[in-house]
Structure 1
Amino acid sequence: MSNTPAYVERRMARSEFITLRGLRHHVLRWGDASLITPERPLLVMLHGWMDVGASFQFAVDALDALGDQRAVLAMDWRGFGLSDNGGGDAYWFPDYLGDLDALLDAVSPNAPVDLLGHSMGGNVVMSYAGVRPQRIRRLINLEGFGLPETKPEMAPGRLVAWLDELKEEQRLKPYPSLEAVAERLIKTNPRLSTAKAQWLAPHWAHEFDGQWLILGDPAHKRTNPILYRRAENLATWAAIEAPTLWVEGDSTDITKWWGDRYPRADFESRLAVVKDLKQARLSDAGHMLHHDQPEALAEHLASFLA
């Protein structure tokens, strides 16, 4: 890997910290307030589970290559990247909504934003856009599928698993070198180029006592004792007012995650409740589509946001 040409950013991000709800959150900013207009508001990007805000660098660069140099902000969710951990031993979905609300109060208190989320972040922004519709001009969901429906009788088992796991220390696997971290990224996503993996690795992990550790609170590994209620989530999706773009990779197979518990037809029926929806599918892309095909993604984003 050492002989691989380095990935060079087209747009350099500024690293900043902002306190939201008592926790210090890490944000990256591309561009400044002079680029913001009512027609080109701040674009806020929110990453998925076990990822970081720097994950969007390739998409920001691809937008720049198209001549789109809007102001962009990406935040590390609590418990990920350089943001503070949640302060407890578990993470709750409503806290992400609260953090996002506080973030927009801080960075765009008087104007709507364009809001993008990937995976877990996609689920958060869908719910947020339904409950704070006045805050969003355009909404983009990158493979935030939601979760399979749960049943009430699953609650006791979930609670038992959570209580048992609270008694166990959660750990993430350490890596001996930054190169090993890059190799881990490529193993998870074989479409990721070596240059991009090497660029992402120091944003995704930091060195502690001679080992490289992923920048994610191990508490995220614990069973979530709160059931996913499809009807409640769809009620927020149905309240979305902003034009919405759904983007997925053509190689994403949700059966690898949930088997037959979440049929594609179920997901399609959920999308159907969104009032103003456009859909796009990227060729030769999987779940990390903003890594796999940032140029193709940028073309869809530029067209939709315009």
Structure 2
Amino acid sequence: MNDTSPPSHDLSYQPRRLWQSQMLPVRNMQYHLRSWEPEQPNRDLPLLVLAHGWMDVAASWQFVVDAFSDAFTQGRRIVAHDWRGFGLSRPQVACDSYYFTDYLADLDMLLEQLSPDAPVDLVGHSMGGNISCSYAGARAERIRRFVNLEGFGMPETRASQAPSRLAQWMDELRAQRGGSMGLSPYDSVEAVAARLQKTNRRLPRDKALWLAHHWAAPDQQGLWHILGDASHKVTNPYLYRADEALACLAAITAPTLSVEASDDSLGQWYKGRYTLEQYHDRLKHIPQCETAVVQDAGHMLHHDQPEAVASLIEDFCAR
């Protein structure tokens, strides 16, 4: 394990807590893990695992980790991983599609190495929340407490959509092979930060600049590339089965906290095809589920209001 200090860039934001970086073997690749290790670990405290969302990286959790109280972090191990195809977790062989079940198996083997004998506290954002919902149902005994940050799932699908979905997937694979689905590079890290702020109007410039150094990396020509495989843009060939998702939710035994932002992300994405009301109906399948709302926040609520998110996680996991 190698100690990693904050980058020496002249940035306003300075992380409060230092992290360590390591690579772990997971299935057919090396997974990148970022951890915040206490000086004197308390093995009686559960490991806290933070799972990031789509086109994001483990470093995205730094602001929340910095906002945790000293009392909560004392003796507590906290880890965040880059999902396969994101950050520094890159498959050895290029792939043209990523599948949801791969993330489940990856998480299972990560936890087998990190906390083989004790259940963990699991926090997932967006895609990481959706993965964690399925995992918390399939491996209920491995999760002590579960916090889901805007991991809403997706609109229900019909079997009749399968032919067009498969055709779309194959069309996009062709387009990808032709180079039309790549991710454009940026001229500078400042341009990357501006891109992050364009996506999230609440993200302060100092945090955007700091995050840009972990969300992207320069090539030999000085162009900055997002640390996310463009293959993630390819449509999933498999339909989202709401009944299967509900079965996983019903199998969750861990006390669960569902957190959403005051901005209605679902309303913006799906234009009535899938609503917060429908999501709340799905939550009723979880045996023990509480809900909370973070005010003045959008989908990246852990960036917008890290103190509020940290407080919710801390209070829920410390009970």
Normalised to the residue count of structure 2, the TM-score between the two structures is 0.91
- Which amino acid is 1:236 matched to? C
1:161 matched residue in structure 2: 168
Is 1:124 paired with 2:131? yes
2:23 matched residue in structure 1: 17
Is 1:286 paired with 2:293? no
Matched residue SS, 1:216: coil
Is 1:99 paired with 2:106? yes
| Aligned-partner Cα distance in 2 for 1:103–1:194 | 33
1:204 matched residue in structure 2: 215
| Aligned-partner Cα distance in 1 for 2:40–2:94 | 36
User: Are 1:243 and 1:277, in contact at CA under 8 Å, matched by a contact in 2?
Assistant: yes
Offset from partner CA, 1:181-212 (integer Å, 9 cap, x none): 00000000010001100110010001123211
User: Are 1:17 and 1:24, in contact at CA under 8 Å, matched by a contact in 2?
Assistant: yes
Superposition deviation, residue 68 in structure 1? 3.1
What pairs with 1:208-219 in structure 2 (closer than 5 Å)? 208=219, 209-219=221-231
RMSD: 1.6
What pairs with 1:1-306 in structure 2 (closer than 5 Å)? 6-32=12-38, 34-38=40-44, 40-64=45-69, 68-69=73-74, 70-85=76-91, 87-169=94-176, 170-208=181-219, 209-306=221-318
| Aligned-partner Cα distance in 1 for 2:42–2:122 | 14
User: Are 1:10 and 1:64, in contact at CA under 8 Å, matched by a contact in 2?
Assistant: no
| Aligned-partner Cα distance in 1 for 2:40–2:210 | 28
Identity of aligned residues (%): 52
Runs of 4+, deviation exceeding 6 Å: none
- Once structures 1 and 2 are overlaid, which stretch shifts more, 295-304 or 172-181? 295-304
| Aligned-partner Cα distance in 1 for 2:131–2:123 | 10
| Aligned-partner Cα distance in 2 for 1:16–1:287 | 29
Q: Against the structure 1 CA distance between its residues 93 and 36, is the aligned structure 2 distance closer, same or farther, given a 3 Å change threshold?
A: farther
Q: Against the structure 1 CA distance between its residues 10 and 73, is the aligned structure 2 distance closer, same or farther, given a 3 Å change threshold?
A: same
User: Are 1:44 and 1:115, in contact at CA under 8 Å, matched by a contact in 2?
Assistant: yes
**Runs of 5+ unmatched residues, structure 1:** none
User: Are 2:169 and 2:234, in contact at CA under 8 Å, matched by a contact in 1?
Assistant: yes
Offset from partner CA, 1:212-237 (integer Å, 9 cap, x none): 11100000111111000000011001
Superposition deviation, residue 6 in structure 1? 1.6
User: Are 1:252 and 1:285, in contact at CA under 8 Å, matched by a contact in 2?
Assistant: no
Q: Against the structure 1 CA distance between its residues 67 and 41, is the aligned structure 2 distance closer, same or farther, given a 3 Å change threshold?
A: closer
| Aligned-partner Cα distance in 2 for 1:253–1:152 | 26
**Runs of 5+ unmatched residues, structure 2:** 1-8
Q: Size of the alignment, in residue pairs?
A: 303
Matched residue SS, 2:68: helix
User: Are 2:186 and 2:223, in contact at CA under 8 Å, matched by a contact in 1?
Assistant: yes
| Aligned-partner Cα distance in 2 for 1:216–1:177 | 17
Superposition deviation, residue 301 in structure 1? 1.2
Superposition deviation, residue 264 in structure 1? 2.3
Matched residue SS, 1:84: coil
Q: Against the structure 1 CA distance between its residues 252 and 13, is the aligned structure 2 distance closer, same or farther, given a 3 Å change threshold?
A: farther
User: Are 1:11 and 1:64, in contact at CA under 8 Å, matched by a contact in 2?
Assistant: no
Normalised to the residue count of structure 1, the TM-score between the two structures is 0.95
- Which amino acid is 1:99 matched to? D
Offset from partner CA, 1:86-114 (integer Å, 9 cap, x none): 74210100000000000001111111110
User: Are 2:183 and 2:230, in contact at CA under 8 Å, matched by a contact in 1?
Assistant: yes
